[in-house]
Amino acid sequence: MPEKKTTSERLALFSDAVFAVIITIMVLELKPPEEATLHALLPLWPTALSYLVSYVFIAIIWVNHHYLFRFIRDATARLIWWNFAHLFMVSLLPFTTAWMSRTRLAAAPVFVYALNFVLIEIAYIAFERTTFAQATPSELAPPMRRIANLRSYLALALFSSATALAFWSPATAFILVCCVLLIYLSPQLPALLHSRRKGRKLHQPS
């Protein structure tokens, strides 16, 4: 097996292990109520909601992170370090989630939570750009690349807006973060939009 392939596979396996540890840490932070009644679960709804949302977020981040690995041919030092930076920012989610849930969406914790996603997005953009540099035109057409870049910078702008909004309306800022991540539900979105646009051009009368 070539050394390049081995290195990229090791990087992917290491990244998957880090995501698994992050999810495990989040689960360990969940504390059951002391009372043995269903009614005792009701006051825990902010914690349950925060952890559910963050779990879905980590799943979305992993899916997109995994998708980018299809373009990697050589695990360069730059790519490895940007991958470490991205994983580090994601690893902060259990802490920011716990603080936000325990304070019931207070302004400062929501600000830090939204800021966490700003940092995650910045690291993701750098990792994405480094990965795309190894993609061939047949794998990633220039229009697909532009759509992917537009999506990433739009997400960064909206995460930044949520961070700025947190001290005025924490609940609105939290909802905005949730909405922004919906654009990453499908990592193939740039390819789908490119195919749809290409299909429209083919069906246009000459």
* pLDDT tens figures, 127-157: 999 999 988 888 888 888 888 899 999 999 9
Within a domain: residue 138? Answer: yes
* Residue of 73 and 106 predicted with greater confidence: 106
pLDDT digits (tens, 9 = 90+) for 3-25: 445 578 889 999 999 999 999 88
- Domains identified in the chain, total number: 1
Question: By 3-state DSSP, what share of the chain in percent is helix, strand and coil, each rounded to 5?
Answer: 80, 0, 20
What span, in angstroms and rounded, lies between the C-alpha atoms of 157 and 197? Answer: 25
Model-level pTM? 0.85
Within a domain: residue 38? Answer: no
Q: Write out the residue range of the structural domain in which residue 100 sits.
A: 3-31+44-203
Within a domain: residue 37? Answer: no
